[in-house]
Amino acid sequence: METLKTAGLKKYYGENKNLVKALDGVDLSIKQGEFIAIVGKSGSGKSTLLHMLGGLDRLTDGVVEIDGTDIFKLKDDELTIFRRRKIGFVFQAYNLVPVLNVYENITLPIALDGNKVDKAYVDEIFKTLGIEDKKFKMPNQLSGGQQQRVAIGRALATKPSIILADEPTGNLDSKTSLDVMGLIKVSSHRFNQTVVMITHNEEIAQMADRVIRIEDGKIFGGDICG
Amino acid sequence: MGDEAMSYLNYIFLGIAIISLLYTTWRNIKIKKTLKKIDDMLDLATTCKLSQERFDESMLSKVESKFNRYLLGLASSEINLHQQKKNIEVLVSDISHQIKTPIANISLYSELLIENPSEEYINQIIFQTEKLKFLIQSLVKTSRLENGIIKLIPSNNNINVIIESIIKSTEYKAKDKDKNIKIVYREEGEHMAFFDPKWTEEAIYNIVDNSIKYSRDNGEIRIIVTEYPLFIRIDIIDNGIGISEDEMTKIFKRFYRSERVSAIEGVGIGLYLAREIIQGENGYIKVESQVGKGSTFSIFLPKDYK
């Protein structure tokens, strides 16, 4: 079953002579439960691609479907709610809310949607990510690796259809990177979570079930359909 | 005066009655609309075309989202069941195929043996029987693991002990005939992790055994243990034939065997079993490889109970 599908995805910046084709016709198909790495050099268009997949930016042409919903047919405020319910984001800079403690950060997206916290599930997230003893710490009391683990927990909390991770280990040293990646890998397997991650690190990409290579806004390597 | 007050009151009552009537009608229409929407959702769901198109902060939109998720889960578990059924069919045909060849060979050599008693035929029969035995053992192991008859019971253990035991039990294979493969492992301190010792030994053994099989003569296999804050990493590095990129995920599939190694004995179950075991312990395996240069299998085991 396809969780995410794109067809003829294009994103152009500028006009005429200054036209930059950041994405130039990307067709992707990602099945439920897959762990995908998108690899490319800087400037290859991989970040643009992830932003399009998450509906963080409007595209020039093409279709992005998540769970059968064409996300660019939604109005801005609808898209916001869609993202909150269906997509989990993990960014390079963690983006935790500094005035909330770890527990509040992780349960924030659940609270935003006005839902009750599934305590057993959240406890399992804490356990899997090894941050049980950090529940009441503030983000600034944690190391980079620990902060990113909290961000992963936050992404998992709403049981989204897909988790999009943008260089999740970009700010971490190589040892911590492998640890954090390991936790993403183990938790995605455990919670049967679909993950799309972009990285320029080959070693990290090797952990994925499937590697998609992107260059000059086009996919040029790896299996497109698994 | 009294009459006037009465008629005022009448008007008020009449007003209230009209307002409440209008309100009820309005509520009814609204409830009907909501029910109609839910009804439409169900209709769409039965045709498997449910996709949410409107998102807002209303209760209905929330219900729709949850319903959507529930139905998607249902659909995907149905697909999974179908896939599992197909897998079992493929498995049965694979197994019968795997068993057919050695049995045919045994029967052939037995007949030849009757006609012409020769030691070569006896050796062939022994060899084919061993192959069958190995195949059946592997199958029993995987099926027990998959059906949950065998539970992985991780506890805090020393990984060095496991590695040394594996080196001992693989040494005769490595030193076999012309192969002469060196296994290098330098123990540096104690490395503790959370795993089931018996099954983890099986998993790592399978990987080392695999490396020996696909190493070139006079090759070298290095085993390196690295500590990370959360995981223990065990690298098994060989300078053998390597794996091409498009095969890297396939090698962990049951009964997958690369065409390039069809000359080497094997059933394609070792790596599958290894990955099942390691994943069951909340660890993972990754591979790095270059064709012609060699492969590195990295096993990550958690240091803490998860």
Mean pLDDT on B116-122: 89
pLDDT band at B250 (very low <50, low <70, confident <90, very high): confident
Residue of chain A nearest B301, judged by CA positions: A182
pLDDT computed for residue B200 by the predictor:
94
Residue of chain B nearest A204, judged by CA positions: B286
Q: Does A130 touch chain B (CB under 8 A)?
A: yes
Interface test with A, best of B48, B286, B299, B304 (most A CBs within 10 A): B286
Placement of tokens 């089931």 in the chain: B196
Mean pLDDT on B112-135: 89
pLDDT band at A222 (very low <50, low <70, confident <90, very high): low
Q: Which of residues 134-163 of B touch A (CB under 8 A)?
A: none
Rounded to the nearest angstrom, the gap between the alpha carbon of residue A194 and the centroid of all alpha carbons in its chain is: 9
pLDDT computed for residue A225 by the predictor:
46
Q: Name which of B51, B61, B302 is nearest A69 (Cβ-Cβ).
A: B51
Angle at the Cα of B241 from the Cα atoms of B238 and B245, rounded to 5 degrees: 100
pLDDT band at A221 (very low <50, low <70, confident <90, very high): low
String of b and e for A116-125 (b: at least 16 CB within 10 Å)? eeeeeebebb
Q: Name which of A77, A86, A206 is nearest B287 (Cβ-Cβ).
A: A206
CATH superfamily of the B157-302 domain = Histidine kinase-like ATPase, C-terminal domain (3.30.565.10)
Residue of chain A nearest B83, judged by CA positions: A1
Closest CA to B183 of B242, B224, B243: B224
Q: Does B68 touch chain A (CB under 8 A)?
A: yes
* Sign of the Cα pseudo-torsion (A66, A67, A70, A76, in order): negative
Torsion angle (degrees, nearest 10) of CA B204, B207, B208, B213 = 160
pLDDT in tens, A176-205: 888 888 889 988 888 889 999 999 888 888
Residue of chain A nearest B232, judged by CA positions: A179
Please state, in angstroms and rounded to a whole number, the distance separating the CA atoms of residues A173 and A193.
Answer: 26
Fold of the CATH domain B75-146: Helix Hairpins (1.10.287)
Placement of tokens 């209303």 in the chain: B58
Long-range contacts of B15-24 (CB under 8 A, 24+ apart): none
Which residues is A139 bridged to in the sheet? Answer: none
Q: Does B304 touch chain A (CB under 8 A)?
A: yes
pLDDT band at B8 (very low <50, low <70, confident <90, very high): confident
Q: Which of residues 60-89 of A touch B (CB under 8 A)?
A: 67-69, 73-74, 77-79, 81-82, 85-86
Q: Does B302 touch chain A (CB under 8 A)?
A: yes
pLDDT computed for residue A226 by the predictor:
44
Q: Percent of chain A, pLDDT > 70? A: 97
Please state, in angstroms and rounded to a whole number, the distance separating the CA atoms of residues B25 and A28.
Answer: 49
Interface test with A, best of B47, B55, B64 (most A CBs within 10 A): B55
Q: Looking at CA atoms only, how far is residue A23 from chain B in angstroms?
A: 25
pLDDT computed for residue A223 by the predictor:
53
Whether pLDDT at B248 is above 70: yes
Put simply, the answer to whether B302 touches A206 (Cβ < 8 Å) is no
Q: Looking at CA atoms only, how far is residue A186 from chain B in angstroms?
A: 6
Which residues is B298 bridged to in the sheet? Answer: B235, B286
What are the residue ranges spanned by the domains of chain B?
75-146, 157-302
Q: List C-alpha distances in Å: A43 to A5, A200, A217, B251.
A: 23, 11, 9, 33
Interface test with B, best of A4, A36, A67, A146 (most B CBs within 10 A): A67
Which residues of chain B neighbour A161 with C-beta distances below 8 Å? 69, 72
pLDDT band at B163 (very low <50, low <70, confident <90, very high): very high
Put simply, the answer to whether B56 touches A114 (Cβ < 8 Å) is no
Q: List the single range of A131-135, A201-205, B260-264 with lowest mean pLDDT.
A: B260-264
Q: Percent of chain B, pLDDT > 70? A: 95
pLDDT in tens, A81-128: 999 999 999 999 999 999 999 999 999 999 888 888 899 999 989 988
A90 touches A165 (CB < 8 A):
yes
pLDDT computed for residue B13 by the predictor:
92
Mean pLDDT on A147-163: 93
Please state, in angstroms and rounded to a whole number, the distance separating the CA atoms of residues A84 and A68.
Answer: 17
Rounded to the nearest angstrom, the gap between the alpha carbon of residue A41 and the centroid of all alpha carbons in its chain is: 18
3-class secondary-structure state, position A105: helix
Put simply, the answer to whether A130 touches B304 (Cβ < 8 Å) is yes
DSSP letter at A134?
Answer: G
> Phi then psi for B17, rounded to 5 degrees?
-60, -45
pLDDT in tens, B16-66: 999 999 999 999 998 898 888 888 877 877 766 666 777 888 877 888 888
3-class secondary-structure state, position B227: strand
> Phi then psi for B72, rounded to 5 degrees?
-65, -40
Please state, in angstroms and rounded to a whole number, the distance separating the CA atoms of residues A38 and A167.
Answer: 10
Q: Name which of B52, B229, B287 is nearest A69 (Cβ-Cβ).
A: B52
pLDDT computed for residue B2 by the predictor:
65
Which residues of chain A neighbour B76 with C-beta distances below 8 Å? 1, 32
Closest CA to B285 of B187, B277, B293, A148: B277
B202 touches B144 (CB < 8 A):
no
pLDDT in tens, B68-116: 788 778 877 888 888 888 877 887 887 788 788 889 999 999 999 999 8
Which residues is A166 bridged to in the sheet? Answer: A198
Residue of chain B nearest A186, judged by CA positions: B282
Residue of chain B nearest A160, judged by CA positions: B69
Contacts of residue B132, Cβ cutoff 8 Å, sequence gap at least 6: B99, B102, B103, B106
Task: Give the amino acid at B112.
Answer: L
Please state, in angstroms and rounded to a whole number, the distance separating the CA atoms of residues B144 and B138.
Answer: 10
Q: List the single range of A165-174, B143-152, B273-282 with lowest mean pLDDT.
A: B143-152
Q: List the single range of A37-51, A79-93, B92-106, B260-274 with lowest mean pLDDT.
A: B260-274
Q: Name which of B61, B231, B279 is nearest A189 (Cβ-Cβ).
A: B279
Whether pLDDT at A31 is above 60: yes
Which residues of chain B neighbour A195 with C-beta distances below 8 Å? none
Domains and CATH numbers, chain A: 2-221 (3.40.50.300)
Mean pLDDT on B172-193: 82
Mean pLDDT over each residue of chain B, to the nearest integer: 85
A182 touches B231 (CB < 8 A):
yes
* Chain A / chain B CB contacts < 8 angstroms: 83
Q: Looking at CA atoms only, how far is residue A14 from chain B in angstroms?
A: 31
Put simply, the answer to whether B230 touches A130 (Cβ < 8 Å) is yes
Put simply, the answer to whether B54 touches A78 (Cβ < 8 Å) is yes
Put simply, the answer to whether A1 touches B300 (Cβ < 8 Å) is no
Q: Does A209 touch chain B (CB under 8 A)?
A: yes
Q: List C-alpha distances in Å: A143 to A123, A146, B32, B48.
A: 21, 5, 54, 46
Strands A61-66 and A2-13: antiparallel
A129 touches A186 (CB < 8 A):
no
Closest CA to A215 of A93, A45, A19, A32: A45
